[in-house]
Structure 1
C-alpha cells in the first residue's frame, strides 16, 4: 500500500509535566490536545509503523495528556498509548520485519507517536499479533487493561488468600480481573460509588459490592473485612476512601496502588499499623512488570488474554466509537458515561 506523507492526529499542546494536578476527569480536550496534520513517521530499526484501525482511551491517557503521568509530554506529538491496526512498514530488525502485514494490538510506549492518529509507531516488542476471533474492539484495549488484570491477579494468586479488595470496581480492568477470579474460585470485594453499579459487579464475578458513598459504608466495610479477611488491596483511586479501606484491613495487608483517580490527599489513618500489623504500601506499573517478568509468563498472559476475548469469556464493554474528526467535541461527554470504553476511529 501507499503510505501518505502526512496524517491527521490529535496533537499534544503541553510539554513535560503539569505544575499542579487537576484530577482524573477530562472536562474538555482543548487545553490538552488539538487536531492537526503532521508528517507520517519513519520507524527506527526495532520499530513498526501501524495504520491505526481503533485506538483506546484509558485513565492513563487522560493523566498523560494533562501532564500527570510518569512520562513527559512532547508538545506537537500525537497522544494515545494503545490501539489496534495493521503493520504497514518496519525498521530493519528481523523481529520488526516479521510483523509487516499483520493485524496487531500495540502500545506506543515512549515512541512519542501515539495512537490517536491515522498512523502510529510502536516497538516491535510492544506489538501482539492477534489471533482470529479477537475483534478490533477488543484488540484496541488488549494490552493495558487485560495484561494488567492478569499480572495483578498473579499477585492475588501468589498471596494465597481467596478474598481481595479492588477499587474502581465498575472499570473495564476490574471486570476483567473479576472474571478471572470467578473462574478460579476467588472472592473479589469490589468498591464503587453508585448503588446501580452493584448488580453489575455481581454479574462480573464480585463476591461483595460496596458503595463508598453510602451512609453505612464504614459499617459494611468492617463486616466484610472481618468475614473475608482479605490481604491484597488493588487500588486505582487513592484518596480518603482508599485510606479508610486500608485501615479496616487485617494484619499483613498489602495496599498496591496502580492509579490515582482521586487527586485528594491520601491519608494513612493509623501509621502504627505499618509497624505493628506488618502492613505494606507499594505500587504496580505494567511497564515494570513487562521489564521484570520472565518471557514465558508474558507470552502465557498474552495468549490467555487473547483466548478469553476470542471465546467470549471476556468482552470489552464499549460506550462509544468516536470518529477522529469528532473527538474534540465528543470524547469528554462519552467518557462521562459510566461502565464502558471509549475508542477513537481514524
Structure 2
C-alpha cells in the first residue's frame, strides 16, 4: 500500500445500532445520518481486498441501513454503502490474485462501505467484470440483479404468472425483462399512470395502477384469469395485503422490502389456514449463504451476459459525487424512475 494515500474522503455513519423505527427508505436530510470526513485508508487483512472506487450505487436497503432500519446494525464512524464498482489496489494474504482487476463488489460485515474513495471487503464478495460491462452497470451488479434472478426463479416454480409491486424500480424492471425471456407473465403494480405503457413495452403482461378507485376489482379479474401464485413485494403496505387476499389458493407473499410507510393489517387470517397461503421473506444475504457456489457462479455469469449484450441496463436518475451527497441525496432519491449513483 506504499503508493496509496494515508487518508480518504468518506461518508461515515453518525449512529450505531438500530433506530427502533420502521419509516421506510425516504430521507429528508442525509446530514441526519451521514457526515463527510477524512478517515484513514483501511488495510486489507487476510482474505480481504482494498478497492479504489469508480462508482457506488444507492439502493433502498442503503437508505434503510443509514436510518437504522435494516437487518444489521449501523457502525458509527464507518462509511456507508453496500455495493459498487472499482479497481483492486491492495490485497491481504490469499487475495493477491485480484490486484489490478476491475470488480463489482458487495461490502462484507468486516469491511468498510462503498460510499468512500476506497472500500474494504472480502475477496469472495468481489466479481471480476467483463470489459464490455460498464462501470455504471458494474456498480449495480449484485444487489438488484442477483435478487431478480433468485426471485423470478422462485416465481417460476409456482406457475407461469406472478405479481410484483414497485414495478418501476430498477429491480422491478429487471424482473419484468427476465420474465419475458422465460415466457412468464408479470402482473406489475405501480402508483403512477404514466408508468403503464413503458412497463408493457418492457414485457409486463398487465400493469395496474394501485391508486385508481377500482384497483381491487381490476386485480381480482386478472387474478382469476392468470392465477398468479407468487407475489414478490417490496412495498408491504395495506394495498399489498388486499392483493394477497385476492390471489388464489397456495399463494406465497414474498416480502423483500418495506417501501410503504404503513404497516399492513391481516384481514383474512382464515386464508392461511384453509387456502394454504403463506407469508415469507427474501434476503439476498441468506440466498448467497445457502446457494451452492456452482449455482451462484452460473447466476453471476448470466447477470453479466445480460448487461453486456444490452438485455439489462441500469437507468440512472442522478449522479452525485461524494462531496455532493450530503446536500443532494434527499432530492435525488425522490426521483422515482432510475437509480442514484455516487462517484468519487
Name the structure 1 match of 2:5: 4
Q: Which of residues 257, 260, 276 is equivalent to 1:262?
A: 260
Question: How far apart, in 1, do the equivalents of 2:110 and 2:37 lie?
Answer: 19
Question: Is the CA contact 2:7–2:39 (under 8 Å) kept in the aligned structure 1?
Answer: yes
Report the Cα offset of residue 263 of structure 1.
3.1
The alignment status of 1:275 with 2:273, answered yes or no, reads yes
Deviations for 1:281-302, whole angstroms, at most 9, x for unmatched residues?
A: 1111100000101111100110
Question: How far apart, in 1, do the equivalents of 2:250 and 2:152 lie?
Answer: 18
Q: How does 1:133-282 map to 2 (within 5 A)?
A: 133-159=132-158, 161-282=159-280
Q: How many residues align?
A: 343
Question: Is the CA contact 1:238–1:260 (under 8 Å) kept in the aligned structure 2?
Answer: yes
Name the structure 1 match of 2:315: 317
Name the structure 2 match of 1:39: 40
Report the Cα offset of residue 23 of structure 1.
2.4
Question: How far apart, in 1, do the equivalents of 2:131 and 2:91 lie?
Answer: 23
Question: How far apart, in 2, do the equivalents of 1:140 and 1:183 lie?
Answer: 24
SS of aligned partner of 2:77: coil
Deviations for 1:270-321, whole angstroms, at most 9, x for unmatched residues?
A: 0000000000111111000001011111001100000000000001001111
Greater mean alpha carbon deviation, residues 283-292 or residues 264-273: 264-273
Question: How far apart, in 2, do the equivalents of 1:2 and 1:197 lie?
Answer: 49
Q: How does 1:6-85 map to 2 (within 5 A)?
A: 6-85=7-86
TM-score by length of 1: 0.97
Report the Cα offset of residue 322 of structure 1.
0.9
Question: Is the CA contact 2:111–2:122 (under 8 Å) kept in the aligned structure 1?
Answer: no
Question: How far apart, in 2, do the equivalents of 1:85 and 1:202 lie?
Answer: 35
Question: How far apart, in 1, do the equivalents of 2:37 and 2:202 lie?
Answer: 40
Question: How far apart, in 1, do the equivalents of 2:309 and 2:185 lie?
Answer: 23
Question: How far apart, in 2, do the equivalents of 1:153 and 1:20 lie?
Answer: 30
SS of aligned partner of 1:175: helix
Report the Cα offset of residue 331 of structure 1.
1.6
Report the Cα offset of residue 126 of structure 1.
0.7
Name the structure 1 match of 2:88: 87
Greater mean alpha carbon deviation, residues 326-335 or residues 299-308: 326-335
Question: Is the CA contact 2:111–2:121 (under 8 Å) kept in the aligned structure 1?
Answer: no
Question: How far apart, in 2, do the equivalents of 1:242 and 1:11 lie?
Answer: 35
Question: How far apart, in 2, do the equivalents of 1:336 and 1:325 lie?
Answer: 19
Question: Is the CA contact 1:79–1:112 (under 8 Å) kept in the aligned structure 2?
Answer: no
Taking only aligned residues, the RMSD between alpha carbons, in angstroms, comes to 1.0
Name the structure 2 match of 1:333: 331
Gaps of 5+ in 2: none
SS of aligned partner of 1:342: strand
Report the Cα offset of residue 241 of structure 1.
1.2
Question: Is the CA contact 1:78–1:112 (under 8 Å) kept in the aligned structure 2?
Answer: no
Question: How far apart, in 1, do the equivalents of 2:5 and 2:301 lie?
Answer: 34
Report the Cα offset of residue 234 of structure 1.
0.4
Deviations for 1:153-208, whole angstroms, at most 9, x for unmatched residues?
A: 1111222x111000000000110111111011110001011101111211221100
Question: How far apart, in 2, do the equivalents of 1:228 and 1:158 lie?
Answer: 15
Report the Cα offset of residue 148 of structure 1.
0.5
Report the Cα offset of residue 112 of structure 1.
4.4
Name the structure 2 match of 1:308: 306
Q: Which of residues 272, 287, 290 is equivalent to 2:288?
A: 290
Question: How far apart, in 1, do the equivalents of 2:11 and 2:219 lie?
Answer: 43
Question: How far apart, in 2, do the equivalents of 1:75 and 1:217 lie?
Answer: 44
Question: How far apart, in 2, do the equivalents of 1:202 and 1:2 lie?
Answer: 51
TM-score by length of 2: 0.98
Greater mean alpha carbon deviation, residues 107-116 or residues 63-72: 107-116
